[in-house]
Every structure is written in structure tokens, then in C-alpha cells.
């Protein structure tokens, strides 16, 4: 896939609305070249509502210049015999290269505000964005990255496939759990309610990828408030008598700890191969 090559230069401490000049969003281990996401794109039209299964892969990423690109594959488009793949380019809202105001693609500032406010995480930024498009915001410690994705062309089908890529997506990425939410805008389209939700895909653990895998897993497990149970574990009562001696509060804590432990193990087991799974299980 085409990737633009650009020369690159070598817990929030304050409110994201503070006027401290340009500061790009934080780098995130779950958003980078090669990272894959899978999810659903919900399409509403006057005729009917549809849900398309969609895979996204990041092909290029340049945080310094507020740029990324990738492919989007829709798997069950009713009017297509095969999955439909498009190549898209994106702008990262960093208040330096790009603000929250689009200033193109027939999107006015009013349209921008209307779509950004669909993301709950945008609420703390709204007042300042209304003033200057967010130019004075410091997003360096904000746990969300806002973007615009614009599909450029169809990869495997012709322009006569019955689909349009004239619009673009307002996108919000969560650095905490790797989820992507988006809303489509095209003033000329009959499709009036398109949204998408993607979840990060973490590759299974191998002998070669432990470093990256462990970072991604720590973020994923932490987003579910399970990291403490992974790191510290919990203590089971030594026997039936010890269990019976627990207070009601201690029994409740034990029940919660057991549930969290099983949930954390489930997340980990999904992302290891069979041999590693057996070793963890035996341990």
C-alpha cells in the first residue's frame, strides 16, 4: 500500500484546556504502523440500517507532522461480491499541524462542532475549540487522540461499485484501551447516520514480539482496571475454616478479586499460543 514518507525530527498534570502553546498528543503504543483494528461500521439510510464488519490497518504514522494513513476493509457490503478495500489518509489534531476546524471538504466550523461533540471525551475541550479551533490547547497528556480520516481511493474495486468515498470521518482514539470511534460526514450523501467502533487487535505472544506485546497487554489489562490483580495477585483462604472466618467485607473483596483474576486470565489467554497457554494453565 502507498505510504507517504516524511523526514521526522528527532496521568494528566493539568487540564487539557490550559493555554500553554502547541503540544502534540502523546505517543501511544496501541497506535502505530502495522497496528490492526477490527469492528463494525453502522450505516443508516432512508431504506434500511446496515452493520458492516470492518478491518483497519495503520500503514503510515508520523506524529510530528500530524499524519497517518492506512487501509479499511469492509467485509459484508451488501452490494459487493468481495470485501471492499479503500486507502485513506488522516490528519491528527495536534493544534500545530491541524486544529479541530477542518476548513475543507465542505465542513464548516458548525459542522465540526456538531460532530466532535458526539464524542464524550471532547466535552472538556469544547469551550476553547469554539474560541480558536483548539490552537491554544495542550493535548500532550490527554488520553484521547482526535483525527480526521479521508478515504482516497478504492484498492480492489472500481468507482462504479455503488459506494462513495466523498466524505470523511471524525475519529476519536482512546489511548487507554485502543478503541476507535468515528462518525462519517458527507453533505451530498443519502447516508445520514454512519458511525464506527473498532477495537485494537493484539497479536499473539511469540518469541520475537514480547516487548511490544507486553506494552500493549499492560495497556489493555489496565484499561479494564485489572493491572493490580495481575501485578500483585490475591490471597486465597488456606482452608475451609479460614474461609468461614472471613468477615462479610472480606468475603466480598475475595469474590471481586477472583472475578478480576479470571477476567485478566481470559484476556491473556486470548493472546498467547497453545503451548504458552498450557504453561500458564499448569502454573
Q: Who wins on pLDDT, 145 or 220?
A: 145
Residues 94 and 188 in one domain: yes
- Please state which of the ranges 50-54, 96-100, 145-149, 180-184 shows the lowest mean pLDDT: 50-54
Last residue of a domain, one of 149, 175, 201: 201
What is the DSSP code (8-state) at residue 118?
A: T
Closest CA to 171 of 104, 112, 103, 109: 112
172 lies in the same domain as 215: no
Residues 189, 68 within the same domain? yes
Q: Which residue, chain included where needed, has cell 494453565?
A: 281
Q: What is the pLDDT of residue 106?
A: 93
- Residue that terminates a domain, selected from 163, 182, 201: 201
128 in the same domain as 48: yes
Q: What is the CATH number of the domain that holds 152?
A: 2.40.128
Question: Looking at the domain assignment, is residue 236 inside a domain?
Answer: yes
Give one word for 256, left, alpha or beta, with left for phi > 0 and alpha for psi -120 to 50.
alpha
Same domain, 167 and 275: no
Percentage of the chain with pLDDT > 90? 40
- Alpha-carbon distance 39 to 57, whole Å? 12
Angle at 117 between CA 119 and CA 151, to 5 degrees: 70
Phi, then psi, of 162 in degrees rounded to 5:
90, 0
pLDDT above 50: residue 8: no
Residue range(s) defining the domain that contains residue 99: 36-201
Tell me whether residue 254 is in a domain: yes
Give the CA radius of gyration of the chain: 22
Reported confidence tier of residue 161, pLDDT bands at 50, 70, 90: confident
Residues 57 and 174 placed together within one structural domain of the fold: yes
Residue 182: pLDDT above 90?
yes
CB atoms within 10 A of CB 245: 10
Question: Judging by DSSP bridges, how do beta strands 168-174 and 36-44 pair with one another?
Answer: unpaired
Mean pLDDT over residues 12-35, rounded?
Answer: 64
Q: Residue 50: which pLDDT band, with cuts at 50, 70 and 90?
A: confident
In a domain, 10, yes or no: no
Same domain for 192 and 226: no
Does residue 15 lie within any of the structural domains?
no
130 and 268 within one domain: no
* pLDDT given at position 191: 53
pTM listed for this prediction: 0.69
Identify which of 169, 132, 125, 105 has the alpha carbon closest to the alpha carbon of residue 17: 125
Domain-embedded: residue 91: yes
pLDDT tens figures, 259-275: 888 888 877 776 777 77
Question: Into how many domains does the chain fold?
Answer: 2
Q: What is the dihedral of CA 8, 14, 20, 26, to 10 degrees?
A: 10
**Residue 170 banded pLDDT, cuts 50, 70, 90:** very high
Same domain, residue pair 260 and 150: no
- List CB contacts of 152: < 8 A, sequence separation 6 or more: 86, 87, 88, 89, 165
For the ranges 54-68, 152-166, 168-182, the lowest mean pLDDT is seen at: 152-166
Mean pLDDT, rounded, of the chain: 81
Pair (177, 54) in one structural domain = yes
Q: Looking at residue 47, what is its pLDDT?
A: 66
Residue with cell 469544547: 126
C-alpha grid cell, residue 160: 462504479
Residue 87 lies in a domain: yes
Judgement on whether residues 62 and 173 belong to the same structural domain of the protein: yes
At 199, which helix (H) or strand (E)? strand 195-201
Q: Compute the average pLDDT of residues 153-176.
A: 86
> Residues of the chain with pLDDT > 70: what percent?
81
Q: What gap in Å lies between CA 91 and CA 96, rounded to an integer? A: 11
Whole-angstrom distance between the N-terminal and C-terminal Cα of the chain?
43
| Digit-coded pLDDT (tens) for 64-88 | 999 999 999 988 887 778 899 999 9
Query: Same domain for 70 and 194?
Result: yes
Choose the final residue of a domain: 201, 229, 247: 201
With left for phi above 0 and alpha for psi between -120 and 50, is residue 103 left, alpha or beta?
A: left
Q: How confident is the model at residue 56 (pLDDT cuts 50, 70, 90)?
A: very high
490528519: which residue's cell?
Answer: 91
Amino acid at each position: 500500500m502507498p505510504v507517504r514518507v516524511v523526514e521526522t525530527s528527532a496521568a494528566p498534570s493539568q487540564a487539557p484546556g490550559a493555554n500553554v502553546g502547541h503540544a502534540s498528543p502523546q505517543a501511544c503504543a496501541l497506535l502505530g504502523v502495522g497496528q490492526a483494528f477490527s469492528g463494525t461500521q453502522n450505516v443508516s439510510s432512508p431504506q434500511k440500517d446496515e452493520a458492516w464488519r470492518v478491518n483497519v490497518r495503520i500503514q503510515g504514522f508520523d506524529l510530528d507532522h500530524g499524519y497517518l494513513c492506512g487501509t479499511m476493509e469492509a467485509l459484508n457490503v451488501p452490494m459487493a461480491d468481495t470485501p471492499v478495500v479503500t486507502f485513506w489518509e488522516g490528519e491528527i489534531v495536534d493544534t500545530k499541524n491541524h486544529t479541530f476546524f477542518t476548513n475543507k471538504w465542505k465542513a464548516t466550523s458548525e459542522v465540526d462542532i456538531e460532530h466532535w461533540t458526539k464524542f464524550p471525551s471532547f466535552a472538556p475541550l469544547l469551550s476553547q475549540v469554539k474560541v480558536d479551533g483548539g490552537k491554544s490547547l495542550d493535548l500532550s497528556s490527554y488520553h484521547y487522540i482526535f483525527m480526521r480520516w479521508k478515504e482516497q481511493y478504492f484498492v480492489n474495486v472500481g468507482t462504479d461499485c455503488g459506494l462513495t468515498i466523498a466524505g470523511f470521518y471524525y475519529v476519536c482514539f482512546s489511548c487507554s484501551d485502543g478503541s476507535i470511534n468515528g462518525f462519517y460526514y458527507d453533505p451530498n450523501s443519502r447516508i445520514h447516520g454512519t458511525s464506527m467502533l473498532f477495537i485494537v487487535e493484539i497479536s499473539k505472544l511469540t518469541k520475537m514480539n514480547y516487548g511490544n506485546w507486553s506494552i500493549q497487554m499492560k495497556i489493555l489489562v489496565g484499561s479494564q482496571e485489572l493491572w493490580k490483580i495481575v501485578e500483585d495477585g490475591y490471597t486465597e483462604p488456606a482452608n475451609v475454616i479460614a474461609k468461614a472466618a472471613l468477615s462479610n467485607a472480606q468475603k466480598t473483596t475475595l469474590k471481586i478479586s477472583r472475578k478480576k483474576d479470571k477476567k485478566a486470565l481470559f484476556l491473556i489467554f486470548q493472546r498467547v499460543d497453545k503451548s504458552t497457554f498450557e504453561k500458564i494453565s499448569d502454573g
